[in-house]
Every structure is written in structure tokens, then in C-alpha cells.
Amino acid sequence: MKALGRHVLAEYFNCDKELLNDPQKLEQFMQEAAKKANATVVSSSFRTFEPFGVSGVVIVAESHLAIHTWPEYGFAAVDFFTCGDTSNPWKAHEFLKSVLKPSHTEEKEVLRGVLEIEQFHFKPSFIRHKQKNNSAAYH
């Protein structure tokens, strides 16, 4: 069955509570997970909530990765959504699982955009161009 994208939904149980409340580490891990999935990182945004918890998203050219944590329970809910045929959301999941070290996980894959089309035409990859201020511009 052909689909525009693959969406892996994962739940991580009994993770390190301090790590689940560290937005900088989580952002670093999620960006690395995107790279492990062969996805192109475009941007990211992570926020800490009071008294605790982090929500964050990594936008990739192929879609997104998102995480929401409940440190008080050692729990994280994670989405790995990639479109196209060059990235693999399961590789992102395996990497994140290796660094968050949950006691166990539950995951499932949902195909997104299952259409009755003979051949899909995916969006072209972003091309990075260095600007004068050394930030990457995407086209």
C-alpha cells in the first residue's frame, strides 16, 4: 500500500525524569533523531512548562518530529512523521529510545495520505544556501 507519509506514534515509559525536563538535551536528541532518519532539519522549537514538562517540535523538510514529556511520571509521547521515500521514522524512534532509555515502549505506525494514485510525486528536497550571516536559507 502506498502512502504519502509514515507516522510512528511512540510512548516511552520510566525514562530519566531530569532528562525529560531538559529542553536543550531533548532538542539535541530530537534533531539527531531526525538526522538518523535521513530527514532534513529545517527548524525546531522547545518549551519548558511550570512546574515541569517539555514540549518540542523539530520541523523537517519531510514533515516533523514532536515530543511531549511528563517528567513527574517518567513518560514521553513522541511522534515521528516523515513523508517521501528517503526517510525512515523508525530509525528516529530507535535512536531516541537509545538515549532516553525507557524501561519499555509502545509504538504503532499509521500510514498518512493513502491515496488511490499510481505514483506519488514528493516535494523536492530543500537546498541550503549560506547567507552572509552564516545562517541557512531554505528554498
**Could you give the residue numbers annotated as active site?**
63, 68, 83
Sign of the alpha-carbon dihedral angle for 129, 133, 136, 139: negative
Q: Residue 137 in contact with residue 128, Cβ under 8 Å? A: yes
Contacts of 56 (CB under 8 A, 6+ apart): 23, 26, 27, 30, 44, 45, 46, 47, 66, 67
Backbone angles phi, psi at 93, to 5 degrees: -60, -45
Helix, strand, or coil (residue 34):
helix
